[in-house]
Structure 1
Amino acid sequence: MVKILYFAWVRQKVGTPEEEIALPGGLGDVAALIAWLRTRGPGYEAAFENLDLIRVAVDQAHVEFDASIERAEEIAFFPPVTGG
């Protein structure tokens, strides 16, 4: 089981702040996870339609989409953060 967290508008589109999921086999990296999540319904499809607007952290470390998720306990998706 892996805990997946969704923040800000990603959470709004998906419809939940978090979920614990048994991932199917063969999902080796973040990109594969996103592709699988998009198949879970229109909210997920909308949330992940523009990957330029998504950031991800695996076990609380910012990573790129090619990062491994094989031993991940927590994966978080969120929009880019801006400051001023």
Structure 2
Amino acid sequence: MEKEVIIEKINDFLIDEFEVESDDILPEANLKETLELDSLDFVDLVVAIEANFGVKLVGEDFVNVVTLQNFYDLIENKLS
């Protein structure tokens, strides 16, 4: 799957499911601070990623995920 498609799917999900403003969706955006995602949101995000991309994520996967770009990279790496 191409990186652009991955980014588009993630961004659409953030807008639709978490009501994140599209202006806030920037690669350098901090998931917790800028996008205001809490621990329950991360659980929902994991479920959505499994449903949309067919990849399983575990807590350790998020150790180095701070920004949206980190998250895009994580999904891209899991798919490759």
How would you bin the TM-score normalised by the shorter chain? 0.3 to 0.5
Structure with the greater alpha carbon radius of gyration? 1
TM-score (norm 1): 0.33
Higher strand share: 1
Q: TM-score, normalising length from structure 2?
A: 0.34
Tell me which protein shows more helix as a share of its residues. 2
